[in-house]
């Protein structure tokens, strides 16, 4: 069985029809990981015993002829910002180098109770801060489609593993684009659900009002399956919504005929690479060809999204990261004489440069005298951005844009230029600020063969329409 092309649906039927076993799939996944990972660097920790025990449980069910749960035997990886009981969880940081969590993230627990096999934990930018995976304390991840290039970030390991066939699907997290942008760079599907759709319990906090968990997969159908498994209220996360969870597989299969799709002019301006624009426009034309109605819309505050995001995200991060003090978690400096020294030295020795930059920016934005000028103002702009979308959604059912202005860039190309790096998020941060769902689906390639992603944005809790449009894009890519 070729693990590199399996989807969730094909894994399930292969096991049910006894063409393979969950144990065999685990073995071939680890073989692939051991062959490819030294170069790609997508995995930080493997949990072979846990994976094998779960696979055996699934095989016993299949042997008895019992009905299999929806993710039976599906080999998956988890971004290392989600805690896993007994399995090291680093957040890509030296400060959590030897942190072994005592409990499981709700999303991970739900996957496992649906039969998924967790192979291990994925490399990412430190505390999910970055757009290229170059900010990991454990080295960069290489893009399997072109190993001289970044896989995107911060869920770079999660996207690269799916693209390279080292896992059927993975989980990522998205605070400003970290699921969708790496999905676009690696040529896979990446779904960020509505804020509150999936519990954040056990997700290591970066910016709590912006953090989301979501899947990276090889197909839109797989994203729909995983969303259904993970979605729904969790008493452990008071921001998780009590909204009903539809059958996304069914919803996704509905035709887009008659659906009104907005194309915002602000997402097709300066800085958009011509090849990306051409591929996205060609896909939009195909959507029109199958009966979607294309409607020009305007999101006039778009130009303020990146600065707004970098004030709010850093402000929240500065508060969330205060807990890493060398006392309760992870790394503690050995060279300190006083308690204050220990706090300072532990943080200084174990946080990377980008994390420190963000803590300083965020602390500044929140400090007395500057709070009104920065943080409060950013919150007001956030409201304006939400209004832009409310108005657009009066006219259309979903919005289509490029996911990122460029295809994957070279490792090192933007590493010394934080501003250029921040602009890589220009099309993704707004959805996080507004709390609406978004997906990136492959829609073409550049002339040098690099994947290009198209983004679909939808109304709050309307992942169904987002998946439906993405499915249409995916379907019409087939020759």
- Verify binding: residue 152, ligand GLN, rule CB under 6 A: no
Asked if residue 3 lies in contact with residue 75, where contact means CB atoms within 8 angstroms, the answer is: yes
Beta strands 451-458; 189-192: pairing state: unpaired
Nearer to ligand GLN among residue 20 and residue 178 (C-beta): 178
- Verify binding: residue 11, ligand GLN, rule CB under 6 A: no
- Please tell me which residue in 93, 131, 132, 154 is annotated as part of the active site: 154
Taking only Cα atoms into account, the Rg of the chain, rounded to an integer number of angstroms, comes to 21
Cβ 406 to ligand GLN, closest distance in Å? 14
Which contacts (CB < 8 Å, 24+ apart) does range 268-272 have? 268/401, 268/402, 271/405, 271/423, 271/426, 272/402, 272/405
Of residues 246 through 275, those in contact with ligand GLN by CB under 6 A are none
Nearer to ligand GLN among residue 130 and residue 444 (C-beta): 130
- Please tell me which residue in 93, 136, 173, 178 is annotated as part of the active site: 178
Active site residue 79: yes
Rounded to an integer, what distance in angstroms lies between the CA atom of residue 73 and that of residue 225? 14
Among 20, 21, 136, 154, binds ligand GLN (CB under 6 A): 154
Among 108, 169, 299, 313, binds ligand GLN (CB under 6 A): 313
Cβ 356 to ligand GLN, closest distance in Å? 14
Of residues 189 through 208, those in contact with ligand GLN by CB under 6 A are 206
Asked if residue 209 lies in contact with residue 362, where contact means CB atoms within 8 angstroms, the answer is: no
Cβ 260 to ligand GLN, closest distance in Å? 29
Cβ 58 to ligand GLN, closest distance in Å? 32
- For residue 409, CA distances in Å to 162, 181, 440 come to 19, 12, 18
- For residue 293, CA distances in Å to 284, 286, 393, 394, 462 come to 10, 11, 14, 14, 18
Nearer to ligand GLN among residue 155 and residue 345 (C-beta): 155
- Verify binding: residue 93, ligand GLN, rule CB under 6 A: no
Nearer to ligand GLN among residue 183 and residue 441 (C-beta): 183
Among 73, 77, 165, 176, binds ligand GLN (CB under 6 A): 176
- Verify binding: residue 82, ligand GLN, rule CB under 6 A: no
- Verify binding: residue 157, ligand GLN, rule CB under 6 A: no
List the one residue out of 167, 206, 211, 171 whose CA is nearest residue 191: 171
Nearer to ligand GLN among residue 284 and residue 456 (C-beta): 456
Asked if residue 316 lies in contact with residue 206, where contact means CB atoms within 8 angstroms, the answer is: yes
Cβ 465 to ligand GLN, closest distance in Å? 23
Q: Is the dihedral of CA 204, 313, 151, 133 positive or negative?
A: negative
Cβ 266 to ligand GLN, closest distance in Å? 19
Query: For the window 406-425, what string marks contact with ligand GLN as x by the rule CB under 6 A?
Result: -------------------x
Tell me the β-bridge partners of 452.
444
Tell me the β-bridge partners of 187.
none
- Verify binding: residue 463, ligand GLN, rule CB under 6 A: no
**How far apart, in Å, do the first and last CA atoms of the chain sit?**
25
List the one residue out of 375, 366, 11 whose CA is nearest residue 165: 11
Rounded to an integer, what distance in angstroms lies between the CA atom of residue 352 and that of residue 135? 7
Nearer to ligand GLN among residue 14 and residue 306 (C-beta): 306
Nearer to ligand GLN among residue 326 and residue 362 (C-beta): 362
Nearer to ligand GLN among residue 89 and residue 175 (C-beta): 175
List the one residue out of 125, 122, 202 whose CA is nearest residue 160: 122
Strands lying side by side in the sheet with 189-192: 43-46, 117-122, 75-79, 169-174, 212-217, 189-192, 438-445, 451-458, 398-402, 260-264, 293-297
- Verify binding: residue 178, ligand GLN, rule CB under 6 A: yes
- Verify binding: residue 156, ligand GLN, rule CB under 6 A: no
Nearer to ligand GLN among residue 81 and residue 111 (C-beta): 81
Cβ 80 to ligand GLN, closest distance in Å? 13
Q: Is the dihedral of CA 442, 447, 450, 452 positive or negative?
A: negative
Rounded to an integer, what distance in angstroms lies between the CA atom of residue 299 and that of residue 454? 18
Rounded to an integer, what distance in angstroms lies between the CA atom of residue 22 and that of residue 362? 46
Cβ 418 to ligand GLN, closest distance in Å? 9
- Please tell me which residue in 28, 29, 32, 79 is annotated as part of the active site: 79
Of residues 119 through 138, those in contact with ligand GLN by CB under 6 A are 128-131
The interface region with ligand GLN, picked from 23-31, 139-147, 169-177, 287-295 by CB under 6 A, is: 169-177
Cβ 328 to ligand GLN, closest distance in Å? 24
Binding residues for ligand GLN (CB under 6 A): 128-131, 154, 173-178, 206, 313, 425
Q: Catalogue the active-site residues.
A: 79, 154, 178
């Amino acid at each position: 069985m070729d693990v590199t092309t399996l989807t969730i649906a094909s894994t399930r039927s292969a096991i049910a029809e006894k063409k393979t076993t969950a144990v065999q799939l685990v073995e071939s996944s680890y073989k692939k990981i051991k062959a490819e990972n030294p170069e790609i660097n997508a995995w930080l920790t493997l949990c072979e015993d846990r994976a094998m025990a779960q696979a055996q449980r699934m095989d016993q069910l299949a042997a008895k002829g019992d009905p299999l749960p929806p993710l039976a035997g599906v080999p998956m990886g988890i971004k290392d910002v989600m805690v896993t009981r007994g399995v090291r969880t680093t957040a890509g940081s030296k400060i959590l180098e030897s942190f072994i969590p005592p409990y499981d993230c709700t999303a991970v627990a739900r996957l496992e109770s649906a039969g998924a096999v967790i192979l291990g934990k994925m490399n990412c930018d430190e505390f999910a801060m970055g757009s290229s995976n170059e900010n990991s304390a454990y080295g960069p991840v290489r893009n399997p489609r072109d190993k001289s290039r970044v896989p995107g970030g911060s869920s770079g390991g999660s996207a690269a593993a799916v693209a390279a066939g080292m896992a059927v699907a993975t989980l990522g997290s998205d605070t400003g684009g970290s699921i969708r942008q790496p999905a676009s760079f690696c040529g896979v599907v990446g779904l960020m659900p509505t804020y509150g759709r999936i519990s954040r319990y056990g997700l290591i906090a970066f910016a709590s009002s912006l953090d989301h968990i979501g899947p990276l997969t090889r197909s839109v159908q797989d994203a729909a399956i995983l969303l259904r498994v993970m979605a729904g209220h969790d008493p452990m996360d008071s921001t998780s919504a009590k909204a009903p969870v539809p059958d996304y597989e069914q919803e996704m299969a509905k035709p887009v005929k008659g659906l009104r799709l907005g194309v915002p002019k602000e997402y097709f301006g300066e800085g958009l690479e011509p090849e990306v624009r051409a591929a996205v426009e060609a896909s939009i034309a195909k959507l029109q060809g199958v009966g979607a109605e294309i409607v020009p819309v305007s999101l006039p505050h778009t130009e303020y999204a990146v600065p707004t995001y970098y004030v709010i995200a850093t402000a929240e991060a500065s508060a969330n990261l205060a807990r890493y003090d060398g006392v309760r978690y992870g790394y503690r400096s050995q060279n300190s004489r006083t308690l204050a020294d220990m706090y300072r030295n532990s943080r200084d020795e174990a946080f990377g440069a980008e994390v420190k930059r963000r803590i300083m920016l965020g602390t500044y934005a929140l400090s007395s005298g500057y709070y009104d000028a920065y943080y409060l103002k950013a919150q007001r702009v956030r409201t304006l951005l939400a209004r832009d979308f409310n108005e657009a959604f009066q006219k259309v059912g979903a919005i289509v844009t490029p996911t990122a202005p460029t295809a994957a860039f070279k490792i090192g190309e933007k590493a010394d230029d934080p501003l250029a790096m921040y602009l890589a998020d220009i099309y993704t941060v707004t959805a996080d600020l507004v709390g609406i769902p978004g997906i990136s689906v492959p829609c073409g390639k550049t002339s040098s063969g690099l994947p290009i992603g198209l983004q679909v944005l939808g109304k709050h809790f309307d992942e169904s329409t987002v998946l439906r449009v993405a499915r249409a894009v995916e379907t019409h890519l087939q020759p």
